[in-house]
Amino acid sequence: MSVEFVYATRLAEYDFGGAHPLRPERFVLTAELADAWGLLAETGVSADGRGEDAASGTSARHALVVAPGTCVEADLLRVHDAAYIAAVRAAGSDPAHWRGGFGIGPGDTPPFPRMHEAAAAVCGATLRAVDDVVAKRCDRAFSPAGGLHHAHRDRAAGFCVYNDLAVAIAKATAERPGLRVAYVDFDAHHGDGVQEAFYARADVLTVSLHESGRYLYPGTGRAIEMGAGAGTGFAVNVPLPPGAGDECYALAFGRVVMPAVRAFAPDVLVAQLGADSHVSDPLAHLQTTVAGQHATARRVVALAEEVCGGRVVATGGGGYDTFSAVPRAWACALAALLGVAPPAAIPESWRALAAEAAGPGAAAPPEATFSEAVLPDAAAWGADPRAETERVIEPLVAVHPLLRE
Protein backbone atom coordinates (compact mmCIF):
# COMPACT_ATOMS: atom_id res chain seq x y z
CA MET A 1 0.00 0.00 0.00
CA SER A 2 1.47 3.35 -1.07
CA VAL A 3 0.41 6.87 -0.11
CA GLU A 4 1.39 10.19 -1.68
CA PHE A 5 1.37 13.57 0.05
CA VAL A 6 1.08 16.10 -2.79
CA TYR A 7 2.69 19.24 -1.52
CA ALA A 8 5.16 22.05 -2.17
CA THR A 9 5.75 25.18 -0.13
CA ARG A 10 4.96 27.33 -3.18
CA LEU A 11 1.30 26.35 -2.74
CA ALA A 12 1.26 28.89 0.10
CA GLU A 13 1.22 31.60 -2.58
CA TYR A 14 -2.56 31.08 -2.61
CA ASP A 15 -2.86 33.82 -0.01
CA PHE A 16 -5.52 36.53 0.41
CA GLY A 17 -3.47 38.34 3.04
CA GLY A 18 -3.00 38.23 6.79
CA ALA A 19 -6.44 39.64 7.65
CA HIS A 20 -8.27 36.97 5.63
CA PRO A 21 -9.57 33.87 7.45
CA LEU A 22 -8.26 31.42 4.82
CA ARG A 23 -4.60 31.16 5.76
CA PRO A 24 -2.03 29.00 3.94
CA GLU A 25 -0.44 28.19 7.30
CA ARG A 26 -3.21 25.59 7.69
CA PHE A 27 -1.61 23.20 5.25
CA VAL A 28 1.98 24.37 5.76
CA LEU A 29 1.68 23.47 9.44
CA THR A 30 -0.04 20.21 8.46
CA ALA A 31 3.04 19.25 6.45
CA GLU A 32 5.34 20.26 9.30
CA LEU A 33 3.36 18.25 11.86
CA ALA A 34 3.20 15.19 9.59
CA ASP A 35 6.96 15.46 9.17
CA ALA A 36 7.54 15.91 12.91
CA TRP A 37 5.45 12.79 13.53
CA GLY A 38 7.55 10.81 11.05
CA LEU A 39 4.68 10.21 8.62
CA LEU A 40 6.62 11.42 5.57
CA ALA A 41 9.13 9.22 3.81
CA GLU A 42 11.69 12.01 3.48
CA THR A 43 13.35 13.97 6.22
CA GLY A 44 12.01 17.48 5.83
CA VAL A 45 9.70 19.06 3.30
CA SER A 46 11.49 20.91 0.51
CA ALA A 47 10.27 23.84 -1.54
CA ASP A 48 9.68 21.74 -4.65
CA GLY A 49 7.71 19.07 -2.82
CA ARG A 50 10.26 16.34 -3.53
CA GLY A 51 11.76 16.01 -0.07
CA GLU A 52 15.46 15.54 0.57
CA ASP A 53 15.65 11.94 -0.56
CA ALA A 54 13.11 11.26 -3.28
CA ALA A 55 14.77 7.90 -4.01
CA SER A 56 14.03 6.55 -0.54
CA GLY A 57 10.60 5.21 -1.54
CA THR A 58 7.67 4.59 0.79
CA SER A 59 6.46 2.00 3.20
CA ALA A 60 3.02 1.38 4.63
CA ARG A 61 3.92 3.76 7.45
CA HIS A 62 5.22 6.68 5.40
CA ALA A 63 3.84 8.89 2.64
CA LEU A 64 6.01 9.99 -0.25
CA VAL A 65 6.03 13.77 -0.73
CA VAL A 66 5.45 14.49 -4.42
CA ALA A 67 5.31 17.76 -6.31
CA PRO A 68 2.03 19.12 -7.69
CA GLY A 69 1.29 18.39 -11.31
CA THR A 70 0.79 20.98 -14.00
CA CYS A 71 -2.61 22.54 -14.57
CA VAL A 72 -2.97 24.10 -18.02
CA GLU A 73 -5.81 26.23 -19.32
CA ALA A 74 -7.36 23.27 -21.13
CA ASP A 75 -7.77 21.57 -17.76
CA LEU A 76 -9.49 24.62 -16.27
CA LEU A 77 -11.79 24.97 -19.29
CA ARG A 78 -13.42 21.64 -18.46
CA VAL A 79 -14.99 23.41 -15.48
CA HIS A 80 -14.55 27.19 -15.89
CA ASP A 81 -15.48 29.67 -18.64
CA ALA A 82 -12.70 31.26 -20.71
CA ALA A 83 -13.95 34.74 -19.81
CA TYR A 84 -13.70 33.92 -16.12
CA ILE A 85 -10.16 32.55 -16.45
CA ALA A 86 -9.17 35.74 -18.29
CA ALA A 87 -10.68 37.79 -15.46
CA VAL A 88 -8.67 35.86 -12.86
CA ARG A 89 -5.49 36.54 -14.83
CA ALA A 90 -6.35 40.24 -15.08
CA ALA A 91 -7.21 40.56 -11.39
CA GLY A 92 -3.96 38.92 -10.36
CA SER A 93 -1.83 40.95 -12.74
CA ASP A 94 -2.94 44.28 -11.23
CA PRO A 95 -4.94 43.75 -8.02
CA ALA A 96 -4.80 47.40 -6.99
CA HIS A 97 -6.73 48.49 -10.08
CA TRP A 98 -9.16 45.57 -10.36
CA ARG A 99 -12.66 47.03 -10.61
CA GLY A 100 -14.46 43.95 -9.43
CA GLY A 101 -16.64 41.36 -11.11
CA PHE A 102 -16.69 37.59 -11.55
CA GLY A 103 -16.92 37.21 -7.78
CA ILE A 104 -13.47 38.73 -7.30
CA GLY A 105 -13.40 41.80 -5.08
CA PRO A 106 -13.62 43.08 -1.51
CA GLY A 107 -14.95 40.51 0.91
CA ASP A 108 -14.65 36.75 0.55
CA THR A 109 -12.40 36.49 -2.50
CA PRO A 110 -10.27 39.62 -2.99
CA PRO A 111 -7.65 39.81 -5.77
CA PHE A 112 -4.01 39.17 -4.93
CA PRO A 113 -0.81 39.14 -7.03
CA ARG A 114 -0.48 36.15 -9.39
CA MET A 115 -3.91 34.90 -8.40
CA HIS A 116 -4.25 32.76 -11.52
CA GLU A 117 -0.87 31.10 -11.09
CA ALA A 118 -1.45 30.36 -7.40
CA ALA A 119 -4.95 28.95 -7.94
CA ALA A 120 -3.78 26.87 -10.91
CA ALA A 121 -0.98 25.44 -8.74
CA VAL A 122 -3.56 24.22 -6.21
CA CYS A 123 -5.45 22.60 -9.08
CA GLY A 124 -2.20 21.00 -10.20
CA ALA A 125 -1.77 19.41 -6.78
CA THR A 126 -5.22 17.83 -6.79
CA LEU A 127 -4.85 16.84 -10.45
CA ARG A 128 -1.69 14.95 -9.50
CA ALA A 129 -3.37 13.27 -6.54
CA VAL A 130 -6.39 12.09 -8.54
CA ASP A 131 -4.39 11.04 -11.59
CA ASP A 132 -1.84 9.05 -9.60
CA VAL A 133 -4.54 7.14 -7.73
CA VAL A 134 -6.68 6.48 -10.81
CA ALA A 135 -3.61 5.43 -12.83
CA LYS A 136 -2.59 3.15 -9.92
CA ARG A 137 0.76 4.86 -9.39
CA CYS A 138 -0.25 4.92 -5.72
CA ASP A 139 -3.14 3.60 -3.67
CA ARG A 140 -4.03 6.77 -1.79
CA ALA A 141 -3.13 10.45 -2.03
CA PHE A 142 -3.64 13.60 0.01
CA SER A 143 -3.66 17.14 -1.43
CA PRO A 144 -3.91 19.30 1.72
CA ALA A 145 -3.92 22.64 -0.14
CA GLY A 146 -6.89 21.51 -2.23
CA GLY A 147 -10.58 21.35 -1.49
CA LEU A 148 -11.65 24.72 -2.97
CA HIS A 149 -15.17 23.48 -3.56
CA HIS A 150 -17.13 26.74 -3.87
CA ALA A 151 -15.70 28.08 -7.15
CA HIS A 152 -18.29 28.13 -9.97
CA ARG A 153 -17.99 27.97 -13.73
CA ASP A 154 -18.13 31.74 -14.15
CA ARG A 155 -17.16 33.22 -10.78
CA ALA A 156 -15.11 32.94 -7.62
CA ALA A 157 -16.95 32.31 -4.37
CA GLY A 158 -16.32 31.53 -0.73
CA PHE A 159 -12.51 31.99 -0.79
CA CYS A 160 -12.27 29.72 -3.87
CA VAL A 161 -10.89 30.89 -7.22
CA TYR A 162 -10.65 27.66 -9.24
CA ASN A 163 -12.45 24.48 -8.24
CA ASP A 164 -9.52 22.05 -8.02
CA LEU A 165 -11.78 19.12 -7.12
CA ALA A 166 -14.10 19.58 -10.08
CA VAL A 167 -11.16 20.19 -12.43
CA ALA A 168 -9.42 16.97 -11.34
CA ILE A 169 -12.56 14.83 -11.46
CA ALA A 170 -13.60 16.27 -14.84
CA LYS A 171 -10.20 15.52 -16.34
CA ALA A 172 -10.08 12.00 -14.93
CA THR A 173 -13.52 11.10 -16.25
CA ALA A 174 -12.88 12.72 -19.64
CA GLU A 175 -9.63 10.81 -20.15
CA ARG A 176 -11.07 7.51 -18.89
CA PRO A 177 -14.61 7.03 -20.23
CA GLY A 178 -16.64 4.87 -17.87
CA LEU A 179 -14.71 5.88 -14.76
CA ARG A 180 -17.05 6.30 -11.79
CA VAL A 181 -16.08 8.77 -9.06
CA ALA A 182 -17.75 9.10 -5.67
CA TYR A 183 -17.13 12.54 -4.15
CA VAL A 184 -17.86 12.95 -0.43
CA ASP A 185 -17.62 16.38 1.19
CA PHE A 186 -17.31 16.81 4.97
CA ASP A 187 -16.78 20.57 5.04
CA ALA A 188 -19.07 22.63 7.28
CA HIS A 189 -20.15 24.48 4.12
CA HIS A 190 -22.08 22.77 1.32
CA GLY A 191 -19.93 21.56 -1.58
CA ASP A 192 -21.97 23.60 -4.03
CA GLY A 193 -19.40 24.12 -6.77
CA VAL A 194 -18.61 20.42 -7.15
CA GLN A 195 -22.28 19.45 -7.02
CA GLU A 196 -23.05 22.07 -9.66
CA ALA A 197 -20.32 20.79 -11.99
CA PHE A 198 -21.69 17.23 -12.03
CA TYR A 199 -25.37 17.73 -11.20
CA ALA A 200 -26.59 16.33 -14.50
CA ARG A 201 -24.09 13.47 -14.78
CA ALA A 202 -24.47 9.84 -13.81
CA ASP A 203 -20.75 8.99 -13.58
CA VAL A 204 -20.01 11.25 -10.59
CA LEU A 205 -21.79 10.86 -7.27
CA THR A 206 -21.65 13.93 -5.00
CA VAL A 207 -22.41 13.56 -1.30
CA SER A 208 -22.22 16.51 1.10
CA LEU A 209 -22.53 16.59 4.90
CA HIS A 210 -22.69 20.22 5.98
CA GLU A 211 -24.33 22.72 8.27
CA SER A 212 -27.77 23.59 6.96
CA GLY A 213 -27.94 26.48 4.53
CA ARG A 214 -30.60 28.00 6.79
CA TYR A 215 -27.74 29.06 9.02
CA LEU A 216 -24.55 29.07 6.95
CA TYR A 217 -23.06 30.04 3.59
CA PRO A 218 -23.71 29.24 0.76
CA GLY A 219 -27.36 28.58 1.59
CA THR A 220 -27.62 25.52 -0.65
CA GLY A 221 -27.44 21.78 -0.06
CA ARG A 222 -31.03 20.97 0.82
CA ALA A 223 -32.00 17.31 1.06
CA ILE A 224 -34.26 17.73 -1.97
CA GLU A 225 -31.27 18.52 -4.21
CA MET A 226 -30.75 15.10 -5.81
CA GLY A 227 -29.45 15.80 -9.32
CA ALA A 228 -31.07 16.54 -12.67
CA GLY A 229 -31.45 14.83 -16.03
CA ALA A 230 -29.06 11.91 -16.35
CA GLY A 231 -27.71 12.84 -12.91
CA THR A 232 -31.02 12.41 -11.10
CA GLY A 233 -30.33 10.44 -7.95
CA PHE A 234 -26.56 11.06 -8.01
CA ALA A 235 -26.46 14.02 -5.63
CA VAL A 236 -26.99 13.47 -1.91
CA ASN A 237 -27.17 16.19 0.75
CA VAL A 238 -27.36 15.98 4.53
CA PRO A 239 -27.95 19.48 5.98
CA LEU A 240 -26.94 19.22 9.63
CA PRO A 241 -28.30 21.38 12.46
CA PRO A 242 -26.15 23.82 14.43
CA GLY A 243 -24.43 21.98 17.26
CA ALA A 244 -24.03 18.72 15.31
CA GLY A 245 -20.87 16.97 16.38
CA ASP A 246 -19.02 13.67 16.19
CA GLU A 247 -22.08 11.55 16.96
CA CYS A 248 -24.13 13.24 14.25
CA TYR A 249 -21.37 12.82 11.66
CA ALA A 250 -21.04 9.13 12.54
CA LEU A 251 -24.81 8.71 12.22
CA ALA A 252 -24.92 10.44 8.83
CA PHE A 253 -21.94 8.44 7.60
CA GLY A 254 -23.52 5.13 8.53
CA ARG A 255 -27.05 5.91 7.37
CA VAL A 256 -26.30 7.95 4.23
CA VAL A 257 -22.70 7.98 3.03
CA MET A 258 -22.02 4.26 3.26
CA PRO A 259 -25.19 3.02 1.52
CA ALA A 260 -25.03 5.72 -1.16
CA VAL A 261 -21.42 4.98 -2.06
CA ARG A 262 -21.99 1.23 -1.94
CA ALA A 263 -24.97 1.52 -4.27
CA PHE A 264 -23.02 3.74 -6.67
CA ALA A 265 -20.02 1.33 -6.77
CA PRO A 266 -17.28 3.83 -7.70
CA ASP A 267 -13.82 3.15 -9.09
CA VAL A 268 -12.31 5.80 -6.80
CA LEU A 269 -13.47 7.80 -3.80
CA VAL A 270 -12.57 11.50 -3.46
CA ALA A 271 -13.04 13.04 0.01
CA GLN A 272 -12.99 16.74 0.85
CA LEU A 273 -11.93 16.89 4.51
CA GLY A 274 -12.78 20.47 5.40
CA ALA A 275 -12.02 20.91 9.12
CA ASP A 276 -14.39 23.79 9.81
CA SER A 277 -16.95 21.56 11.51
CA HIS A 278 -14.58 21.71 14.52
CA VAL A 279 -16.00 23.05 17.77
CA SER A 280 -13.48 25.91 17.88
CA ASP A 281 -13.99 27.06 14.30
CA PRO A 282 -14.99 30.73 14.17
CA LEU A 283 -17.03 30.56 10.94
CA ALA A 284 -19.45 27.69 11.55
CA HIS A 285 -21.69 26.33 14.31
CA LEU A 286 -20.83 22.62 14.41
CA GLN A 287 -19.07 20.75 17.21
CA THR A 288 -16.83 17.99 15.94
CA THR A 289 -13.46 17.31 17.56
CA VAL A 290 -10.08 16.37 16.11
CA ALA A 291 -10.70 12.83 17.36
CA GLY A 292 -14.06 12.80 15.58
CA GLN A 293 -12.58 14.13 12.35
CA HIS A 294 -9.88 11.44 12.54
CA ALA A 295 -12.63 8.84 12.97
CA THR A 296 -14.34 10.21 9.84
CA ALA A 297 -11.11 9.88 7.85
CA ARG A 298 -10.73 6.29 9.05
CA ARG A 299 -14.30 5.54 7.97
CA VAL A 300 -13.54 6.97 4.52
CA VAL A 301 -10.52 4.70 4.18
CA ALA A 302 -12.49 1.64 5.32
CA LEU A 303 -15.30 2.41 2.88
CA ALA A 304 -12.82 2.81 0.03
CA GLU A 305 -11.28 -0.55 0.93
CA GLU A 306 -14.72 -2.10 0.70
CA VAL A 307 -15.99 -0.55 -2.53
CA CYS A 308 -13.04 0.43 -4.73
CA GLY A 309 -9.94 -1.47 -3.71
CA GLY A 310 -8.86 1.19 -1.23
CA ARG A 311 -8.37 3.86 -3.89
CA VAL A 312 -9.04 7.17 -2.19
CA VAL A 313 -7.98 10.78 -2.73
CA ALA A 314 -8.31 13.27 0.13
CA THR A 315 -8.03 17.04 0.08
CA GLY A 316 -8.16 19.81 2.62
CA GLY A 317 -10.87 22.44 2.44
CA GLY A 318 -12.30 24.86 4.96
CA GLY A 319 -11.04 25.26 8.50
CA TYR A 320 -10.24 28.49 10.30
CA ASP A 321 -8.75 27.44 13.62
CA THR A 322 -5.57 27.78 11.60
CA PHE A 323 -2.81 27.15 14.09
CA SER A 324 -4.20 24.24 16.09
CA ALA A 325 -7.30 22.29 15.09
CA VAL A 326 -6.84 22.25 11.31
CA PRO A 327 -3.23 21.01 11.06
CA ARG A 328 -3.88 18.44 13.79
CA ALA A 329 -6.97 17.15 11.99
CA TRP A 330 -5.27 16.94 8.59
CA ALA A 331 -2.09 15.33 9.92
CA CYS A 332 -4.38 12.77 11.58
CA ALA A 333 -6.12 12.29 8.22
CA LEU A 334 -2.76 11.45 6.65
CA ALA A 335 -2.21 8.91 9.43
CA ALA A 336 -5.60 7.39 8.57
CA LEU A 337 -4.61 7.12 4.91
CA LEU A 338 -1.44 5.35 6.00
CA GLY A 339 -3.38 3.04 8.27
CA VAL A 340 -1.42 4.04 11.37
CA ALA A 341 -2.44 5.67 14.64
CA PRO A 342 -1.40 9.30 15.04
CA PRO A 343 0.98 9.89 17.95
CA ALA A 344 -0.74 10.87 21.19
CA ALA A 345 1.53 13.89 21.77
CA ILE A 346 2.24 17.03 19.79
CA PRO A 347 6.01 17.61 19.47
CA GLU A 348 7.27 20.65 21.34
CA SER A 349 9.15 21.79 18.24
CA TRP A 350 5.90 21.91 16.27
CA ARG A 351 4.01 23.66 19.07
CA ALA A 352 6.69 26.35 19.07
CA LEU A 353 6.48 26.68 15.28
CA ALA A 354 2.69 26.99 15.37
CA ALA A 355 2.80 29.51 18.22
CA GLU A 356 5.30 31.63 16.31
CA ALA A 357 3.14 31.53 13.18
CA ALA A 358 0.04 32.47 15.19
CA GLY A 359 1.74 35.53 16.64
CA PRO A 360 1.77 37.22 20.04
CA GLY A 361 -1.24 36.70 22.26
CA ALA A 362 -2.50 33.57 20.52
CA ALA A 363 -3.26 30.49 22.59
CA ALA A 364 -0.61 27.80 22.39
CA PRO A 365 -1.58 24.54 20.66
CA PRO A 366 -2.34 21.66 23.03
CA GLU A 367 0.28 19.17 24.13
CA ALA A 368 -1.93 16.20 23.24
CA THR A 369 -3.20 15.40 19.76
CA PHE A 370 -6.84 15.04 20.74
CA SER A 371 -7.04 17.79 23.38
CA GLU A 372 -9.59 20.53 22.75
CA ALA A 373 -9.45 24.07 24.09
CA VAL A 374 -13.23 24.30 23.64
CA LEU A 375 -15.36 21.30 24.53
CA PRO A 376 -18.58 20.41 22.68
CA ASP A 377 -21.79 21.31 24.48
CA ALA A 378 -24.87 20.10 22.62
CA ALA A 379 -27.16 21.65 25.22
CA ALA A 380 -25.96 25.12 24.26
CA TRP A 381 -27.96 24.92 21.01
CA GLY A 382 -31.37 24.56 22.60
CA ALA A 383 -32.47 21.61 20.47
CA ASP A 384 -30.97 18.12 20.48
CA PRO A 385 -28.59 18.01 17.47
CA ARG A 386 -28.80 14.22 17.21
CA ALA A 387 -32.60 14.26 17.15
CA GLU A 388 -32.51 17.05 14.56
CA THR A 389 -30.02 15.04 12.47
CA GLU A 390 -32.30 12.02 12.58
CA ARG A 391 -35.18 14.21 11.43
CA VAL A 392 -33.13 15.13 8.35
CA ILE A 393 -31.95 11.61 7.62
CA GLU A 394 -35.21 9.67 7.97
CA PRO A 395 -37.13 11.31 5.09
CA LEU A 396 -33.99 11.42 2.95
CA VAL A 397 -33.50 7.66 3.31
CA ALA A 398 -37.16 7.12 2.51
CA VAL A 399 -37.13 8.93 -0.82
CA HIS A 400 -33.59 9.03 -2.25
CA PRO A 401 -33.07 6.46 -5.06
CA LEU A 402 -29.67 5.36 -3.72
CA LEU A 403 -30.86 5.04 -0.13
CA ARG A 404 -34.27 3.39 -0.34
CA GLU A 405 -34.06 -0.04 1.23
Q: How is the chain split into domains, by residue range? A: 3-368+381-399
Number of Cβ atoms within 10 Å of the Cβ of 233: 17
Strand partners, 278: 288
Helix (H, G, I), strand (E, B) or coil at 131: helix
Non-local CB neighbours of 347 within 8 Å, separated by 6+ positions:
33, 36, 37
Q: For position 1, what pLDDT does the model report? A: 83
CA atoms of 303 and 309, how far apart (whole Å):
9
In the annotation, is 150 catalytic? yes
- Helices 82-93 and 115-134, interaxial angle, to 10°? 130
Burial of residue 329, with CB atoms counted within 10 A of its CB: 0-12 exposed, 13-18 middle, 19 or more buried: buried
CA atoms of 291 and 294, how far apart (whole Å):
5
CA atoms of 189 and 213, how far apart (whole Å):
8
Q: For position 53, what pLDDT does the model report? A: 35
Q: For position 380, what pLDDT does the model report? A: 82
Q: For position 47, what pLDDT does the model report? A: 46
Q: For position 405, what pLDDT does the model report? A: 62
Q: For position 60, what pLDDT does the model report? A: 62
Q: Report the chain (405 residues): mean pLDDT per 10 consecutive residues.
A: 96 97 98 98 55 41 96 98 98 96 96 98 98 98 98 98 99 98 98 98 98 98 98 98 97 98 98 98 97 98 98 98 98 98 98 96 94 88 91 97 86
Q: For position 54, what pLDDT does the model report? A: 36
Residue type, 267: D
CB–CB of 104/142 below 8 Å?
no
Four-way CATH pick for 3-368+381-399: 3.40.1710.10, 3.40.800.20, 3.10.20.30, 3.90.1150.10 = 3.40.800.20
Residue type, 227: G
Q: From the candidates 62, 116, 149, 150, give the one annotated as an active-site residue.
A: 150
User: What is the chain's alpha carbon radius of gyration, rounded to the nearest angstrom?
Assistant: 19
Q: For position 48, what pLDDT does the model report? A: 54
For CA atoms 345, 331, 319, 237, the dihedral sign is: negative
